[in-house]
A and B are shown apart, each in its own frame.
Chain A
Amino acid sequence: MSDSTVIAQGAAADEHHAHPPYQRHHFETIGQQNDATNFAMWLFLLTEIMFFGGLFTAYLIYRNWYYPAFVAASHQLDIFWGGLNTLLLISSSFTMAMGVWCAETRKQSGLVLCLVLTFVLGLGFLGIKSIEYHEKWEKHHIPGLHFSTQSFADPESDTEVFEKYHDKALAPDMAAHTELYFFLYFAMTGMHALHMIIGIAILAFMIVRARAGAYTNGHLAFVENFGLYWHFVDIVWIFLFPLLYLISRH
C-alpha cells in the first residue's frame, strides 16, 4: 500500500512536464483539455435541446388540435415587439461571437466592450419581454384564476386587436382553449427568459473577470463555452418567434 503510493509519487515527479497553470494534470495537452470541455458543453446543450423540444412538440400538437383558439390567441402578440427582440438577440449573439474573437486575439478592452454590449442587449430583450408580459397581465391573459376569454368570445370588445385581424367570435369551449395557448406561451418564453437571466448573471461575472485580465491570457475556455450557451439561447428564440408570433396571421 505505502510502497505503491511512493512509486506513484515518484512516477508523477519524473513525468511532470511544463504546462500552463490552467492545464489540469489529468490532461496530456491543453488541446485535449479544451476538446473535453467543449464536448461536455455540447452534451449539456443537447439535454437543453431535448428539454425545449418537448415544449415545442406540445405546442405543435395542441395548435393542431385547437387550431382556431391558437390562431386567435396568437393575434394578441405584437409582431413589432417580437421582431425587435429577435433583432436584439441576434445582435447580442454577434457581439458574443466578437467577444470570443477578442479573447482569442488577446484584446482585453475589446473583450470587455463586447461582453458589456451583450449584457446590455440581453437586458433590453428582457425589458421588452416584461412590457409584453405586463400587457397580458392587464388583459387577464395569464392562465389561472383570473384568466378571461373575453377577447376571444367577444373579439370586438378588444378593439386594438380586432381592427388588425377581424377575428370571428369563438364558441365558449374553443375560447377556453386559448388558456392552453397562453400556458404554453408563458412556459416557453418564461423558460427562455430564465435562461437569459442566468446568462446575463454569468455575463456580469465575466465582465468583472475580463476587466481583471482573465480570458485574454490564452485561457478562454470559459468565454468560448459561455458563447455556446448564449448562441443556444438565441437559437431557441429563432424558433419561438415564428412559431408564437408569425405562423398564425391568417
Chain B
Amino acid sequence: MSEHNEQEHHIVSPKVYLVILTALLVGTAVTIWASFIDMGPLNPIIALAIACTKAVLVILFFMHVKYSTKLTKLTVGAGVFTFLILVGMTLADYFTRAWGRW
C-alpha cells in the first residue's frame, strides 16, 4: 500500500512554491533586522536558527523531500545527523579548551 504510494510521482503545486518563497524572503528580512539589535552571544544563535529554518523549508519543499520515498528521507536524515555529530563534536572540543587564546 505505502509502496504503491511511493511509486507515484507527486507534483508540488506552484502555490506551495510561492508560500515557501514568501517564507524565505520574510526569513531573510527578519535575519537582517535581528542583526541590527545587539543581543550579545544570542546574535549568532538567532541568525543560525533562522538559517536552519530556511534550509529545512528549502529541503522539504523545493527539494521535495517531504514527498520523497522513505529511502530519500532516511538518506537525508542520516546525512544531516552525521554532519551534526562531526561539526558538533569538533566545536565542543575546540570551544571548551583554552588553546589558541593567545
Other A-B pairs beyond A39-B75, A57-B90, A243-B48, 8, CB < 8 Å: A57-B87, A94-B17, A97-B17, A101-B12, A104-B11, A227-B63, A241-B28, A246-B47
Interface: A87 (CB within 8 A): yes
Residue of A42, A50, A56, A245 with most chain B CB atoms under a 10 A cut-off: A42
A: number of interface residues (CB 8 Å): 49
Q: B86 touching A53 by the CB < 8 A rule? A: yes
Which of B35, B36, B72 has a CB less than 8 Å from the CB of A242? B35
Q: A101 touching B58 by the CB < 8 A rule? A: no
Tell me the complex Cα distance, A227–B58, Å. 11
Q: B59 touching A235 by the CB < 8 A rule? A: yes
Could you show 22 A-B contacts with beta carbons less than 8 Å apart? A31-B7, A31-B8, A34-B9, A39-B75, A42-B72, A42-B79, A46-B76, A57-B91, A61-B94, A79-B35, A91-B21, A93-B58, A97-B12, A97-B20, A105-B11, A227-B62, A228-B63, A231-B59, A231-B63, A235-B59, A238-B54, A243-B44
* A247 neighbours in B (Cβ, 8 Å): 35, 43-44, 47
Q: Which residues of A contact B (CB under 8 A)?
A: 29, 31, 34-35, 38-39, 42-43, 46, 49-50, 53, 56-57, 60-61, 64-65, 79, 83, 86-87, 90-91, 93-94, 96-98, 101, 104-105, 224, 227-228, 231-232, 234-235, 238-239, 241-243, 245-247, 249-250
Q: With A104-B9, A246-B31 as known contacts, state yes or no: A42 contacts B76, CB within 8 Å.
A: yes
Which of A60, A94, A243 has a CB less than 8 Å from the CB of B47? A243
- Across the two chains, which residue of chain A brings its CB closest to B45? A247
- Across the two chains, which residue of chain A brings its CB closest to B69? A35
Q: A235 touching B83 by the CB < 8 A rule? A: no
Interface string of B1-25 (1 = CB under 8 A from A): 0000011110111100110110011
Task: Determine the main DSSP class of B at the interface with A.
Answer: helix
CB distance from A72 to the nearest CB of B (A): 16
Which of A35, A50, A64, A238 has a CB less than 8 Å from the CB of B95? A64
Tell me the complex Cα distance, A34–B79, Å. 20
Task: Determine the main DSSP class of A at the interface with B.
Answer: helix
Which of B13, B64, B75 has a CB less than 8 Å from the CB of A43? B75
- Across the two chains, which residue of chain A brings its CB closest to B39? A250
Interface string of B67-82 (1 = CB under 8 A from A): 0110110011001100
Q: A38 touching B72 by the CB < 8 A rule? A: yes
Which of A53, A87, A235 has a CB less than 8 Å from the CB of B25? A87
